[in-house]
Amino acid sequence: MPKTLLEWPLMENNITREDLNVLIDFLKDAPRLTQSANVAAFEREWSDWVGVSHSVFVNSGASANLITMAAIKHCFGGGEIVVPTLTWVSDIASVLQNAFTPVFVDINPQNLCMNEDAVIAALNDRTRAVFLTHVQGFNGLSRRLLDGLAGRGIPLIEDVCESHGATFEGRRLGSYGLVSNFSFYFAHHMSTVEGGMICTNSDEIHQTLRMLRSHGMVREANDDAVRADYAQKHPDLSPDFIFAYPAYNVRSTEIAAVLGRSQLKRLDVNNEKRRRNWKLFLEHLDPSKYRTDFDSEGSCNYAFNLILKNPDPDFRDRLEAAMAEAAIEFRRGSSGGGNQLRQPYLRGVVPDGEWERYPEIEHVHFYGYYIGNYPDLSQERVRELCRFLNSVS
């Protein structure tokens, strides 16, 4: 039988010639390249697109997580943060780096996001926030979860790093939480090469984030009253050099903002193509071998989630070998490599063997994958991928 070669990367053509031409035109004028007018414009445009009051552009989604958790600590104090077992490492790392205690919950197999029953059961007087990841384009919200958190006065933090454009009840994800984080890494729905955005409707959180982004400097606040208050309380300090927090430098650049503004103009069109591809993928995948019963309402998936229906290690090994031979790039464990509780950085934080108490993420850890879903894919290419996957036995 002839060898099948699909040559399927995780992402293709995410920064286009059009983007590069826009960037070249910008650079021809020998402009200021550090954080300036384009960063501010990108923040305004992104806020309008998500449907929030404020956005803060930073150098990565991980940095967005880091200073979000720092802002939560400064505003609400320490305690517990409810977190998913399936997420990127920086979500959990940001919780630990800000001295919160992570409380883990299993996933809902229909959307790979946090199981809402487990989240609600984990809430208590020490809970400072729920940090929910919308995994790879799926919506992780429900009205029951939102009402339950609101009734207890517990903030929701949305990690939307993998789900630009996904919706719940007609609103874009990222517009529900007290704070929401986005990533513009190369493999995501849109890219600034590296970069991240933090969104909020809270004026207080917004000013705190602006200061945390840049060394904790009060002059980074764009609220005159905030700056004046600090100056009045600290007359012995120059107003240009008042540091409110022991913070970070996670600013981004004008170059990244120019790319982001260019990409945002076609994000909606590209997302519609991803939704079409995802629907086609599920329609043609063999449901006797792979899970196809996902809750896709409102989703916008930048990846094809391939999860074995049954825990069959022999079939898994044959599938991985076949995909590797066909040059299909894949990642096992889905987002972040699967069950975070198995990772070395959590040894000593959680008890040995704790990961075995979460069966849904354990299945994805060993029998789940993601494969790239990008706008340039033709419908026939998606069908070809499904035919290949279905042929593995």
Q: Which residues contact 365 (CB under 8 A, 6 or more apart)?
A: 333, 337, 338, 339, 342
Residue 7: inside a domain, yes or no?
no
CATH code (residue 117): 3.40.640.10
Domain end among 241, 264, 287: 264
For residue 29, the Cα-to-chain-centroid distance in whole angstroms is 34
Pair 102, 236 in one domain: yes
Number of independent structural domains in the chain: 2
- Does residue 273 share a domain with residue 253? no
- Whether residues 21 and 43 share a domain: the answer is yes
User: Looking at the structure, do residues 288 and 217 belong to the same domain, yes or no?
Assistant: no
* Domain shared by 231 and 277, yes or no: no
Q: Which of 6-15, 75-84, 222-231, 341-350 has the lowest mean pLDDT?
A: 6-15
For the chain, what's the residue count?
393
pLDDT, one tens digit per residue, over 267-282 is 999 999 999 999 999 9
Statement to judge: residues 121 and 226 lie in one domain: yes
Q: Are 212 and 20 in contact (CB under 8 A)?
A: no
**Which pLDDT band, with edges at 50, 70 and 90, does 27 fall under?**
very high
Is there a single domain that holds both residue 67 and residue 138?
yes
- Asked if residue 149 and residue 57 are part of one domain, the reply reads yes
| pLDDT above 90: percentage of residues in the chain | 97
* Residue 13 banded pLDDT, cuts 50, 70, 90: confident
Q: From CA 54, how far away is CA 74, in angstroms rounded?
A: 19
CATH of the domain at 306: 3.90.1150.10
* Contact partners, residue 336, CB within 8 Å, separation at least 6: 86, 87, 88, 89
Query: Are 109 and 126 in the same domain?
Result: yes
pLDDT exceeds 90 at position 3: no
pLDDT of residue 335: 87
pLDDT(1) > 50: no
Q: Please check the confidence at residue 368 and state whether its pLDDT lies above 90.
A: yes
pLDDT tens for 297-340 read: 999 999 999 999 999 999 999 999 999 999 999 999 998 999 99
pTM over 0.85: yes
Residue 357 has pLDDT above 50, yes or no: yes
Do 355 and 300 share a structural domain?
Answer: yes
Which of the four pLDDT bands, split at 50, 70 and 90, describes residue 4?
Answer: confident
257 & 274 share domain: no
**b/e for 350-380, b at 16 or more Cβ within 10 A?**
beeeebeebebbbbbbebbbbbbbbbebeee
User: Could you tell me the residue range of the domain that residue 137 belongs to?
Assistant: 17-264
Q: What is the mean pLDDT of the chain?
A: 97
**Does some domain include residue 177?**
yes
Q: Which of 231, 264, 297 is the last residue of a domain?
A: 264
| Same domain flag for 290 and 331 | yes
pLDDT digits (tens, 9 = 90+) for 167-224: 999 999 999 999 999 999 988 999 999 999 999 999 999 999 999 999 999 999 999 9
Which of residues 197, 231, 264 is at a domain's end? 264
4, part of any domain: no
